[in-house]
């Protein structure tokens, strides 16, 4: 009888937005696995996580955090932004 191994716990990637800028320009995630992005909004105004590449759009109230469930994804580069401040709040998810 084959042995089934438990899957590793989902990876959580953390990023914050403050002064309408993401705390990192790039996040890295494993290809072919599920993972989560935890986004903390440290600003006093709401922001919206938006990514055409990832097919996600989610409001982040001021002073709150949200979780975005993703994966499994193919290797590549996936852009995301804060839709309310897209000129300053933008970053890339690299999946390897």
Q: Summarize pLDDT for 50-81 with one digit per residue, the tens.
A: 999 999 999 999 999 999 999 999 999 999 99
Cis peptide before 22 (omega within 30 of 0): no
pLDDT at 28: 95
Can you tell me the distance from the alpha carbon of 12 to that of 29, in angstroms, rounded to the nearest whole number? 9
> Model pTM greater than 0.85?
yes
Can you tell me the distance from the alpha carbon of 15 to that of 72, in angstroms, rounded to the nearest whole number? 19
pLDDT at 8: 53
Residue 1 banded pLDDT, cuts 50, 70, 90: very low
pLDDT tens-digit readout, 8-33: 567 999 999 999 999 999 999 999 99
| Selection from 4, 7, 80, 86 nearest residue 37 by Cα | 80
**How many Cα atoms occupy the beta-carbon half-sphere of 60 within 13 Å?**
32
Residue 4 banded pLDDT, cuts 50, 70, 90: very low
Which listed CATH number (3.40.50.2300, 2.40.50.140, 2.40.30.20, 2.60.40.420) goes with 11-95? 2.60.40.420
């Amino acid at each position: 009888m084959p042995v089934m191994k438990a899957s590793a716990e989902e990876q959580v990637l953390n990023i914050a937005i403050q002064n309408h800028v993401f705390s990192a320009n790039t996040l890295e995630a494993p290809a072919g696995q599920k993972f989560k992005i935890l986004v903390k909004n440290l600003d006093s105004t709401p922001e919206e996580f938006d990514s055409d590449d990832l097919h996600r759009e989610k409001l982040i109230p001021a002073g709150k955090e949200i979780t975005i469930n993703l994966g499994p994804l193919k290797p590549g580069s996936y852009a995301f932004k804060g839709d309310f401040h897209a000129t300053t709040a933008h970053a890339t998810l690299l999946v390897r």
